[in-house]
Amino acid sequence: MPLCAGTLPSTKQMLSTRPQSINAPAFSKAHSSFYQVLRASCTRGNARTLIVQATDRTVMIGLAADSGCGKSTFMRRMIGVFGGSPHAPEGGNPESNTLLSDMATVICLDDYHCLDRTGRKEKGVTALDPKAQDFELMYEQAKAIKEGKSIDKPIYNHVSGLLDPAETIKPPKIMVLEGLHPFYDERVRDLYDFKIYLDISDEVKFAWKIQRDMKERGHSLESIKASIEARRPDFEAYIDPQKKHADVIIQVLPTQLIPDEKEGKVLRVRFIQKEGVNFFKPTFLFDEGSTISWIPCGRKLTCSFPGIKFFYGPDTYYGEEVSILEMDGQFDKIEELIYVESHLSNTSAKFYGEITQQMLKNSQFPGSTNGTGLFQTIVGLKIREVYEAVVETTVKSAV
Amino acid sequence: MPLCAGTLPSTKQMLSTRPQSINAPAFSKAHSSFYQVLRASCTRGNARTLIVQATDRTVMIGLAADSGCGKSTFMRRMIGVFGGSPHAPEGGNPESNTLLSDMATVICLDDYHCLDRTGRKEKGVTALDPKAQDFELMYEQAKAIKEGKSIDKPIYNHVSGLLDPAETIKPPKIMVLEGLHPFYDERVRDLYDFKIYLDISDEVKFAWKIQRDMKERGHSLESIKASIEARRPDFEAYIDPQKKHADVIIQVLPTQLIPDEKEGKVLRVRFIQKEGVNFFKPTFLFDEGSTISWIPCGRKLTCSFPGIKFFYGPDTYYGEEVSILEMDGQFDKIEELIYVESHLSNTSAKFYGEITQQMLKNSQFPGSTNGTGLFQTIVGLKIREVYEAVVETTVKSAV
């Protein structure tokens, strides 16, 4: 049942109304300056040189995760790889969920709610339910962006719970769609160049919620448990199954280094990397394709309790071949990561030490001493590599 | 109680009576040709160049192990590293236990029995009991060899159980003393440049004995058990404790890859390497000083059941710092070892692939597809390195 019908302006209305040309898309300034669009044909003597520069296209990245799972930290790390600092659209709605930076624009898929808070209450659906989401519009606008067209995208106001007037989004070099349902709709799914799923285990989610909602906001343990339980059916039905479509999954689990550790302070983080993904080579430890566990703490790197343990190995995930890189525990100092970095391969870093440099730069972000920060940073490098490969391929394919 | 007194010619009598000079030791031809002994002093203008070539000395290697534990295979692998094929002394006693090769001579310490089979029976001592061993003579002769002097060494005839007339042993480049008590006597112990202990676990010893004594020689299971039990007290009292003096221990255990495997066909072999030993750098896997487990079988190396698992890590052994390298399981083909070799460091190989080449050359020896063969080969390379370092140092120290 399409609950969304009629609740918002039609798809056609939401697509930007400014004049568009498929041959000459309206690039943003930043976009067009990166690869200039020009086409020329020269003849000099017998040699005929065809100079062709194609229009590069927006590279599409999807990031799926539950609310409160550190998507914003992730985005800030990712954007950090490309340089520049993320900021909200200037002069627009202060409740805009969009983040802009020099190269990337991040859209929050909550903006495609077709039911606002009241509407969801009336219809008895949660924000996790696809019925509250306008996939038609999401698809049309994502497709438009990928084709280099600007869009007028609605804004879901998280404060008021209402749908605010649209904001114009120009096609960036890299467009990130982050939210609850980036891979739910097959048409949207097929638009991505790289798909990421942040998978926080129930135990860790619970520990984090206790930290935030009980210790910081004074909620009761019972109300936290009740809120988690209430979300569970829809989460399991609609959000969780999307992870099988992701190219990489960052799975956050309680540590195995301390028996019965439940506080979520020490984490075991698994970086599940699909094999055979275009432009993506899984990061590995020491020996590609073998199975390794590594405790770097020893004679060269000393670690305080409970230490650090890495794992790497091939596996299957929803029937597909993956390589898993895992880090349990945390660094005493971020600088020590350089020792680990020296033993990782296919990180997509442009120079030795780049991961450590990024982690140091973002040291104030949560997770900077554990696997969440490490793998988020590597994913940032991977996105850069995918971006460069796609742009290169686009240019080449147009020749 | 010195049971040995008077049962054999005195130490003095056993030392070779041919003229000796400490300044000009009587080298064997092979010995003197390797490093020529010459001393000269040149003066040219203001520059005074002192050319000094010192007498190199015999490098002493000790190898301890119980009987029937593969010492002879070990020796053949070791000698293989230096080239040439081992042979018995020509024209001598056909029951000689000595092995000669181009560079190394191997002496069996059974030759220092002071009690023959009858004598031991009369006194009620086993061959494992130090009372049956003439440590005085062992020390004097080992010391003489190290000093470049020939010795006249007794021969214990394993067929007759009697002590046969002595054979003359010239000081080789490398002298290996192998047997039950190489590290029992402190004075002898101090003569070695490198000390090796082959430590076969009870389960594997039992499995091997069943294979050999029951299946091949028709002994009963009961008699095998009884013979092992009879040896145990003396073994534990006199042989086993020597391993704490060894620089490296090759420990052979049942596999952990197959639950309850007791046949001794699949082995877990641990190479325990002491830290801080002169001229010896422990071999490591991937990352020195850290703790690693590695299953090389995967996308690049496929292995049949039960596969192969390596372990590497720091540990302590009798209170001393060691590095342990472990291999559980076996290769399908020896050639596949090259894949493992590429990930080992500090092997003392002179070129990449030397370990695999050695293993292939000796493929007919027992243990060629498992850790016994691998670590014996590495120990061979280590002995070569110790030899070269000692000779080099001897030359240098004489300048």
Contacts of A303 in chain B (CB under 8 A): none
Angle at CA B189, nearest 5°, toward B85 and B198? 55
pLDDT at B38 over 70: no
Mind listing the pLDDT tens digit for each residue in A166-199?
A: 999 999 999 999 999 999 999 999 999 999 999 9
Q: What percent of chain A has pLDDT over 70?
A: 84
DSSP B128: T
Which residue does chain A place closest to B295, by CA atoms? A291
pLDDT at B12 over 50: no
Contact A355, A381 (CB under 8 A): yes
B270 strand-pairing partners: B251, B326
B286 to A286: CB separation less than 8 angstroms, yes or no: yes
Question: Mean pLDDT throughout B171-181?
Answer: 95
What is the rounded CA–CA span in Å between residue A339 and residue A301?
8
Contact A194, A79 (CB under 8 A): no
Contacts of A314 in chain B (CB under 8 A): 298-299
When comparing pLDDT for B333 and B217, which is higher?
Answer: B333
Contacts of A289 in chain B (CB under 8 A): 298-300
Which strand (E) or helix (H) includes residue A146?
A: helix A135-146
pLDDT at A41: 32
What is the rounded CA–CA span in Å between residue A44 and residue A60?
40
Taking the CA of residue B379 and the nearest CA in chain A, the distance in Å comes to: 23
Q: To the nearest whole number, what is the mean pLDDT of chain A?
A: 84
Question: How many beta-carbon pairs under 8 angstroms link A with B?
Answer: 67
pLDDT at A207: 87
B290 to A300: CB separation less than 8 angstroms, yes or no: yes
pLDDT at B19: 38
- Chain A residues in contact with chain B using a Cβ-Cβ cutoff of 8 Å: 286-301, 313-314, 343
Contacts of A299 in chain B (CB under 8 A): 288-290, 314
Nearest residue, CB atoms, B295 vs list A291, A295, A298: A291
A298 to B289: CB separation less than 8 angstroms, yes or no: yes
Q: Please report which confidence band the pLDDT of residue A79 belongs to, taking 50, 70 and 90 as the band edges.
A: confident
Nearest residue, CB atoms, B290 vs list A289, A295, A313: A295
Which residue does chain A place closest to B298, by CA atoms? A290
Q: Please report which confidence band the pLDDT of residue A87 belongs to, taking 50, 70 and 90 as the band edges.
A: confident
Contact B371, B326 (CB under 8 A): yes
B269 HSE (CA, 13 A, CB side): 24
Which residue does chain B place closest to A302, by CA atoms? B290
Which of the residue ranges A78-87, B243-252, B261-270 would you say has the lowest mean pLDDT?
A78-87
pLDDT at A115: 93
Taking the CA of residue B356 and the nearest CA in chain A, the distance in Å comes to: 19
Identity of residue A194: F
Contacts of B313 in chain A (CB under 8 A): 295, 298
pLDDT at A248: 98
A313 to B295: CB separation less than 8 angstroms, yes or no: yes
pLDDT at A23 over 90: no
pLDDT at B111: 96
What is the rounded CA–CA span in Å between residue B340 and residue B51?
44
Query: Which of the listed CATH numbers 3.20.20.70, 2.30.30.790, 3.40.50.300, 2.40.70.10 matches domain A59-391?
Result: 3.40.50.300
B290 to A296: CB separation less than 8 angstroms, yes or no: yes
When comparing pLDDT for A65 and B4, which is higher?
Answer: A65
pLDDT at A20 over 50: no
**How many CB atoms lie under 10 A from the CB of residue B11?**
15
B292 to A293: CB separation less than 8 angstroms, yes or no: yes
CA quadruple A190, A196, A201, A206: dihedral, nearest 10: -100
pLDDT at A394: 65
pLDDT at B98 over 50: yes
What is the rounded CA–CA span in Å between residue A117 and residue B279?
75
Contacts of B294 in chain A (CB under 8 A): 286-287, 290-292
Q: Please report which confidence band the pLDDT of residue A299 belongs to, taking 50, 70 and 90 as the band edges.
A: confident
Which strand (E) or helix (H) includes residue B293?
A: strand B291-295
Q: To the nearest whole number, what is the mean pLDDT of chain B?
A: 85
Peptide bond into A306 cis (omega under 30): yes
Q: Please report which confidence band the pLDDT of residue A76 belongs to, taking 50, 70 and 90 as the band edges.
A: confident
* Cα–Cα nearest to B68, from B231, B283, B244, B192: B231
B297 to A288: CB separation less than 8 angstroms, yes or no: no
Mind listing the pLDDT tens digit for each residue in B263-321?
A: 778 999 999 999 999 999 999 999 999 999 999 998 888 888 899 999 999 999 999 99
C-alpha A289, offset from chain centre: 26
pLDDT at A3: 57
> What backbone phi and psi angles, to 5 degrees, belong to A50?
-100, 110
Question: Mean pLDDT throughout A79-101?
Answer: 86
Contact B286, B296 (CB under 8 A): no
Taking the CA of residue B361 and the nearest CA in chain A, the distance in Å comes to: 27
**Cβ contacts of A176 within 8 Å, gap of 6 or more:** A61, A62, A63, A75, A78, A104, A105, A106, A107
Contacts of B326 in chain A (CB under 8 A): none
A290 to B313: CB separation less than 8 angstroms, yes or no: no
Mind listing the pLDDT tens digit for each residue in A267-282?
A: 999 999 999 999 999 9
B294 to A288: CB separation less than 8 angstroms, yes or no: no
What is the rounded CA–CA span in Å between residue B367 and residue B369?
6
DSSP B103: S
**Cβ contacts of A40 within 8 Å, gap of 6 or more:** A51
Domain spans of chain B, in order of start: 59-391
What is the rounded CA–CA span in Å between residue A310 and residue A343?
11
Nearest residue, CB atoms, A292 vs list B288, B293, B301: B293
Find the radius of gyration of the CA atoms of chain B.
22
pLDDT at A84: 76
Contacts of A344 in chain B (CB under 8 A): none
DSSP A235: I
When comparing pLDDT for B83 and B364, which is higher?
Answer: B364
A290 to B295: CB separation less than 8 angstroms, yes or no: yes
- Chain B residues in contact with chain A using a Cβ-Cβ cutoff of 8 Å: 286-301, 313-314, 343
| Strand, coil or helix: B336 | helix
Nearest residue, CB atoms, B293 vs list A289, A293, A300: A293
Taking the CA of residue A292 and the nearest CA in chain B, the distance in Å comes to: 4
pLDDT at A216 over 80: no
Residue B220, classified by CB atoms within 10 Å of its CB into exposed (0-12), middle (13-18) or buried (19+), is exposed
Nearest residue, CB atoms, A287 vs list B289, B291, B343: B343
pLDDT at A44: 35
B296 to A287: CB separation less than 8 angstroms, yes or no: yes
Q: Please report which confidence band the pLDDT of residue B207 belongs to, taking 50, 70 and 90 as the band edges.
A: confident
Q: Find the length of chain A.
A: 399
Contacts of A286 in chain B (CB under 8 A): 286-287, 292, 294, 343
* For the ranges A61-70, B204-213, B355-364, the one whose mean pLDDT is highest: B355-364
A297 to B290: CB separation less than 8 angstroms, yes or no: yes
pLDDT at A7: 44
pLDDT at A117: 92
Q: Which residue has the tokens 């568009």?
A: A20
pLDDT at A286 over 70: yes
pLDDT at A239 over 60: yes
Nearest residue, CB atoms, A298 vs list B296, B314, B343: B314
Nearest residue, CB atoms, A289 vs list B287, B292, B298: B298
A299 to B291: CB separation less than 8 angstroms, yes or no: no
pLDDT at B84: 76
Taking the CA of residue B287 and the nearest CA in chain A, the distance in Å comes to: 8
Mind listing the pLDDT tens digit for each residue in B322-350?
A: 999 999 999 999 999 999 999 999 999 99
Which strand (E) or helix (H) includes residue B357?
A: helix B354-361
What is the rounded CA–CA span in Å between residue A189 and residue B41?
85
Taking the CA of residue B261 and the nearest CA in chain A, the distance in Å comes to: 23
Do β-strands B104-108 and B174-179 pair in parallel, antiparallel, or remain unpaired? parallel
Contacts of A345 in chain B (CB under 8 A): none
* Cα–Cα nearest to A77, from A394, A367, A322: A367
Which residue does chain A place closest to B342, by CA atoms? A287
Taking the CA of residue B326 and the nearest CA in chain A, the distance in Å comes to: 14
Contacts of B293 in chain A (CB under 8 A): 292-293
A296 to B286: CB separation less than 8 angstroms, yes or no: no
Contact A53, A185 (CB under 8 A): no
B194 strand-pairing partners: B61
What is the rounded CA–CA span in Å between residue A193 and residue A174?
10
The three state secondary structure string of A90-135 is CCCCCCCCCEECCCEEEEEHHHHECCCHHHHHHHCCCCCCHHHECH
Taking the CA of residue B289 and the nearest CA in chain A, the distance in Å comes to: 5
What is the rounded CA–CA span in Å between residue B292 and residue B276?
21
Identity of residue A192: Y
A314 to B298: CB separation less than 8 angstroms, yes or no: yes
Q: What percent of chain B has pLDDT over 90?
A: 62
When comparing pLDDT for B63 and B395, which is higher?
Answer: B63
Q: Which of B257, B281, B299, B323 to mutate to test the interface with A (most CBs of A within 10 A)?
A: B299
A292 to B292: CB separation less than 8 angstroms, yes or no: yes
Q: What percent of chain B has pLDDT over 70?
A: 84
Q: What pTM does this model have?
A: 0.81
pLDDT at B344: 96
Taking the CA of residue B251 and the nearest CA in chain A, the distance in Å comes to: 22
Which residue does chain A place closest to B312, by CA atoms? A294
pLDDT at A96 over 80: yes
> What backbone phi and psi angles, to 5 degrees, belong to B197?
-125, 125
Residue A325, classified by CB atoms within 10 Å of its CB into exposed (0-12), middle (13-18) or buried (19+), is buried
* Cα–Cα nearest to B145, from B50, B26, B313: B26
